[in-house]
Structure 1
Amino acid sequence: MNLSFRQLQTFVEVMRTGSVSEAGRTLGRTQPAISAMIAGLEREIGFPLFERERKRLIAKPEAYYFLEEAEFLQERLTRSARTLQDIGNLDRGKLKIACNPAASSFFMPKVLAVFLKDKPQIEASLMMRSSPVVTDWIASQQYDVGFGETPEPRQTIRAETFDFPCLCALPKGDPLAKKRTITPQDLDGKPLAMLFDEHIISMQTRKAFAASGVRLNRRFELRTFMPALQLVSEGLCYTICERLSATSHERSFGAQGGVAFRPFEPRLTLSMAVMVPANRPPSMLAGQFVTTLRGEIAKLLETGSGEGE
């Protein structure tokens, strides 16, 4: 059986109006077209729904039995068409995002808020994990979009990279805050909060200090920069962190943060990547979110963060 939406629509309208001509006027079709549509419906279901009497259609009991089902199907098809239109307009759907800790506290929620501002029907999942876990989630197609430290090339991931420059975080009121740029010489022997040895910023920091011939004094070892910045605000140390963490701290604590940020020389960077699964095309919703995310990253890199008090 191959029933069409137009056949159901025509049948329901004939039953509602009780007249072929009235149904034709309502649907904007000719009377012969309505009669032909009903005849085609009857051929599909295999039995007559109407008796023909002097060019009139008189509904049989079977027509009344079928009416309830036809109305249900028509409503369901109309709802489905509306849903598809909403999906096409990015007004409905689900979005799964994974990001690393540096992006999770402020930056990614802000991007998501910008994207969803006029999309009340969109459901979103935002999960925070370490960059390697985010990478694995994207590679296994568990999430639509990932944002984390740039991974090694993988066939299962498409990645777009961005370099985030590093800043030196120091306690507000520290004499070094008067300088426009901080160097390894300024931090010679001073207590630092650093990430674990294998992290790219830790490796770059050690290399910069060694090249300058000054002593690196790592007092604190941590997994992320957010607790490091809290230690800085208490006056216990300094840290060299990427701009994303600096922005998150500033926006979270404002003037009460107790931390000043200054550019660090030589230039150190952290490569971050927007990642999507490579083995399936992104949904229209995910593709549009990536465009928004890309734009917000560009704004962040253009405006800088925390290079003043």
Structure 2
Amino acid sequence: MRLPNLRQLHTFRILMQTQNVTEAARQLNVTQPAVSKTIASLEDSLGARLFRRIRGRLYPSGDATRLLIEIERLFVQLEALNDGMEGLRSSQDGKIAISAIPALASSIVATSLARFARERPHIRTLLMSENSGNMLTQIGLHQVDLGFMYNHPGPEKSLSAELVAELEVVGVLHRNHPLASEPVLTPQILDGHAVILWEQNTPPSQLVREAFLREGLVPRDQFETNNSFAAKSMAAQGIGVALIDPTVMLGDTRTDLVIRRFRPLVPLRIFCIQSIYRPASQLSQRFLEDFVQAMRGFADTLRLDID
């Protein structure tokens, strides 16, 4: 059996991902016949049929599925080799790809990445704003280097989760709101007042609701959202108190909003997620170090702002 070359394996990998010869050809920047010829050559090398076309659709065989698993392992090693070679160069060069949940991607991660890139004008960056499920998938497929999310993702053999910072849920409200003069907001103080919460299926929202329930109270949750920036905008209209993460206030110089502590404390733990099969490049590791320092500074500023 002739050993397949990397071009054949790469073409096969793209075709398995797209399940479409036309799209595979577009991504590879070749013609459709070239894709078909490469796959036929690979099948000839392996002595196995990898795809069947039924009613115009392409279906991979069982051999193709098993082969893909081995090829993914190979490409992980190749990507790790490439990262290692990049790491031999200065961390002033290279590319870093990051995925984060929207609240973090739009605030502290974006700010940190911009500052990091400003000091390294030759690097290329990619920042994806994704829900936690999509983010974990991107890391597992090695589409990004680092991921950032609130709360531990749970047991996952192929991923590592490192606690890099801890914040807390805060109350954000209009300066003319009846409770704006309260230094600390509690379920008892908020009882009867409209609150703006994350949607119920999110862990932070569940913890906030549990804080009310422990006092025998139910939050007047007239308003729910899956976006902290939307909650802040609603609070700015004076319709309620937003119980959200404080990162949305980063760089906000508006004077119509105030931020208040919420007690009992509801922690927001930020985890950095990485693939255990792809060691962090020197560039990624340097960014993570800078991000941890930025989070410490932000936490200190937050304490000063609301004390």
Whether TM-score is above 0.5 comes out as: yes
Letter in 1 for 2:91: L
Distance 1:216 1:303, change over 3 A: same
Partner of 2:31: none
Structure 2 CA distance for aligned equivalents of residues 89 and 214 of structure 1: 56
Within 5 Å, which residues of 2 pair with 1:287-298?
287-298=285-296
1:185 aligns with 2:188: yes
Q: 8 Å contact 2:261–2:306 — kept in the other structure?
A: no
Distance (Å, rounded) in 2 between the aligned partners of 1:195 and 1:187: 16
Q: Map Cα deviations across residues 1-28 of structure 1 (whole Å, 9 max, x no partner).
A: xxxxxxxxxxxxxxxxxxxxxxxxxxxx
The one of 173, 178, 181 aligned to 1:170: 173
Q: Any unmatched runs of 5+ in structure 1? A: 1-83
How far residue 308 of structure 1 moved from its aligned partner, in angstroms, is 4.1
Mapping of residues 190-269 of structure 1, within 5 Å: 190-245=193-248, 247-248=249-250, 251=251, 253-256=252-255, 258-269=256-267
SS at match of 1:276: strand
What is the DSSP-based 3-state SS (H/G/I as helix, E as strand, rest coil) of the residue aligned with 1:112?
A: helix
Counterparts of 1:233 and 1:87, CA distance in 2: 49
Distance 1:99 1:215 in 2: 31
CA distance in 1, matches of 2:135, 2:86: 32
> Match for residue 158 of structure 1?
160
Cα 1:229/1:275, change in 2 over 3 Å:
same
Displacement after TM superposition at 1:243 (Å):
2.2
Give unmatched runs, 5+ long, in structure 2. 1-84
Q: Could you tell me how far 1:236 is from its partner in structure 2?
A: 0.8
Cα separation, 1, equivalents of 2:276 and 2:235? 40
Supply the AA of the counterpart residue of 1:230. Answer: S
Q: Which amino acid is the alignment partner of residue 161 of structure 2? A: A
Q: How does 1:69-84 map to 2 (within 5 A)?
A: none
What TM-score, normalized to structure 2? 0.67
Q: Which residue of 2 aligns with 1:97?
A: 98
C-alpha contact (below 8 Å) 2:209/2:218 kept by paired residues: no
Deviation at 1:153, TM superposition (A): 2.5
Counterparts in 2 of 1:275 and 1:236: CA distance versus 1, 3 Å: same
2: distance between equivalents of 1:147 and 1:259? 27
Name the count of aligned residue pairs.
221
Aligned counterpart, 1:279: 277
Question: Where do 4+ consecutive residues of structure 1 move more than 2 Å?
Answer: 84-87, 305-309
Q: Greater Rg, structure 1 or structure 2?
A: 1
What amino acid does structure 1 have at the position aligned with 2:253? G
Letter in 2 for 1:97: I
SS of residue matched to 1:163: strand
What residue identity is the alignment partner of 2:146?
A: V
Letter matched to residue 215 of structure 1: V
CA distance in 1, matches of 2:198, 2:254: 25
Q: What amino acid is the match of 1:143?
A: V
Residue type of the alignment partner of 2:287 = F
Residues 280 and 173 of structure 1: CA distance in aligned 2, closer, same or farther (over 3 Å): same
Residue 140 of structure 2: aligned partner: 139
CA RMSD of aligned residues (A): 2.1
Query: For the residues of structure 1 that align with 2:230 and 2:161, how far apart are their CA atoms?
Result: 28
